[in-house]
Copies of this chain bind each other. A is one copy, B any other.
């Protein structure tokens, strides 16, 4: 592609550096911005800089926050002794949206993935280990992806915590509510059968 303006070329190059955005989409977005008002573009550019300069990681759990500690860790109603381990803040948002969880989180920020060069040192785990040492934690729930990386990371943390006298649990894996059995993959179905519940208990869950 030959550009008639080097500023346009620079903008397309920068935009197409974002994940999942190719040159054609980048050009379409750049032409859209050229048609926008200057203050709209300013608002976009400013929000990107604010994002980078003002958003911090919560010192307690690693969640994104505008302050030293995030709203969830600061909330006196949340059970500080119940910690849910998740990969990233999108998982926090998904669990918060259910409205069913009253504990706090530990946001790892990554999963152990030798292929991507991420080892145990790449996890935001120390603040959880410190809290455990200080006796502030009673139960840790693992809510990691059902992938190889998620299972590896879960097992690594499990080994670190298993002798600390905590209750350790993992979110249930099984057939999604509303899913048809015939379309479920075999592993999920097998786990679903393996971790079956007393029928009365499953009724209770459906009702709540």
Task: Report whether over half of chain A's contact residues are helix, strand or loop; otherwise say mixed.
Answer: helix
In whole angstroms, how far apart are the Cα atoms of A11 and B65 in the complex? 14
Nearest Cβ on chain B to A65's Cβ, whole angstroms: 5
A12-36 interface bits toward B, Cβ cutoff 8 Å, 1 = contact, 0 = none: 0111011110000101111111101
Partner of A51, one of B33, B47, B97: B33
Q: Are B19 and A32 in contact (CB under 8 A)?
A: yes
User: Number of copies of this chain in the oligomer?
Assistant: 2
Nearest Cβ on chain B to A70's Cβ, whole angstroms: 5
Chain B positions within 8 Å of A93 at CB level: 1-3
Nearest Cβ on chain B to A7's Cβ, whole angstroms: 5
Q: Are B19 and A50 in contact (CB under 8 A)?
A: no
In whole angstroms, how far apart are the Cα atoms of A59 and B2 in the complex? 20
In whole angstroms, how far apart are the Cα atoms of A33 and B55 in the complex? 11
- Knowing A44-B17, A48-B45 touch, does A31 contact B66 (C-beta < 8 A)? no
Let me know if A96 is at the binding interface, CB within 8 A: yes
Partner of A20, one of B28, B47, B50: B28
Partner of A6, one of B30, B36, B66: B66
7 closest Cβ contacts across the A-B interface? A45-B45, A11-B51, A41-B52, A11-B47, A14-B47, A14-B44, A45-B48
